Amino acid sequence: MDMRFEEEAGFYGPPDSREFPRFMGPATFARLPRIDQVSRFDVALVGVPFDIGTSYRPGARFGPIGIRQGSRTLRNWHPDLQVRPFGSQQVVDAGDIACNTFDIADAMAAIEAGAAELTADGARLLALGGDHTVAFPLLQATHRVHGPVALVHFDSHVDTYDTYMGARFMHGAPFRRAGEEGLFEPRPLDTCGHPGLQVRSRRPRRRCRLRLRRHGDVGDRPNRRRWLRRTDSRAGRRSADLRVDRHRCARPRLRTSHRDPRSRGFSSRELLGILRGLRGIHIVGADIVEVAPAYDHADITSIAAANVAYELLSLMAPTDA
Ligand SMILES: [Mn+2]
């Protein structure tokens, strides 16, 4: 049987689930068309199956597969934001960036080149990691097109290590490297994910030149409102880039596939609510990292990550006229 992608206003979305139930059809994100099946695209999802930069539990190389599997039930209508993420912009699945799994430097170059190729014509990129190391080459590619972006980072760590066992490129250092190259501004780095402080791990060392903004627990409503106001005023005038460390900014109670687990993070509901509050910010790039399906019971984390991706796609979507 011919399984056609549903067409709405010239944009191709998932096949009609009344004819082709969601357990059938393409293994692409949300069963969307592959990049080679449409003539043009506005947003590309791309997998970055890289996890040799991790310092604790490996397995995020399977993150793109897990998130795609967790995305099969996503629908083309976001009732809270009142947008059609697949019917008002062309979203495609660009497959995975083939990156070396034995050589970090080689992988970094491949990820930057792959991301740059996908965004050269102005398309936006939503990357599915992979461990957090991948944020650096992805930001390099974003910088090529947009210059320094306003960076919003959800994580329980600040990821501003200088080196770890001598390694400069690893999952605890991407924002140190990005800061050194001037890939984002204004400073300080906008990280949130920690009740009480903004992150849950140790504070960065003094010699780290990146200052960090204290937000309080943005899961709490008054703090959330204040954080959204600040983020809006900081990011509102420039292109923004969102980085979500899925596993570390969510509660281990709910997120079971932590690659490097920490307690007391946001619930999925809190995180999605915070993201929804970012409506109006011009997002040019985003990634969701550290999804490790081997530790994920009943696809809980993969489904949550897919929904974060959906929220980001909805934030990128034009509002219905
Ligand atoms: Mn991280």
**Whole-model pTM?**
0.88
- Tell how far the Cα of 23 is from the centroid of ligand 1, in angstroms: 32
- Tell how far the Cα of 305 is from the centroid of ligand 1, in angstroms: 14
Least confident piece of the model among 48-57, 168-177, 260-269: 260-269
16, part of any domain: yes
Q: From CA 135, how far away is CA 129, in angstroms rounded?
A: 9
Question: Could you tell me the sign of the dihedral formed by the alpha carbons of 260, 310, 234, 118, in that order?
Answer: positive
240, part of any domain: yes
Please give the pLDDT value at position 153: 84
209, part of any domain: yes
- Tell how far the Cα of 158 is from the centroid of ligand 1, in angstroms: 7
Q: Which domain holds residue 93?
A: 6-316
Query: What CATH number did the domain enclosing 49 receive?
Result: 3.40.800.10
Structure tokens at 74: 């996503």
- Tell how far the Cα of 195 is from the centroid of ligand 1, in angstroms: 16
For ion ligand 1, residues whose CB falls within 5 Å = 132, 155, 159, 245
Report residue 300: phi and psi, to 5°: -60, -50
Q: Max alpha carbon distance in the chain (Å)?
A: 62
How many domains, in total, are found in the chain?
Answer: 1
DSSP state of 94: E
Average pLDDT over the chain, rounded to an integer = 84
- Tell how far the Cα of 246 is from the centroid of ligand 1, in angstroms: 8
Which three-class secondary structure state does DSSP give residue 22? coil
1, part of any domain: no
121-124's contacts with Cβ under 8 Å and 24+ in sequence apart are 123/41, 123/42, 123/43, 123/44, 124/42, 124/43, 124/44, 124/283, 124/284, 124/285, 124/316
- Tell how far the Cα of 79 is from the centroid of ligand 1, in angstroms: 30
- Tell how far the Cα of 180 is from the centroid of ligand 1, in angstroms: 17
Is the pLDDT assigned to residue 251 strictly greater than 60?
no
321, part of any domain: no
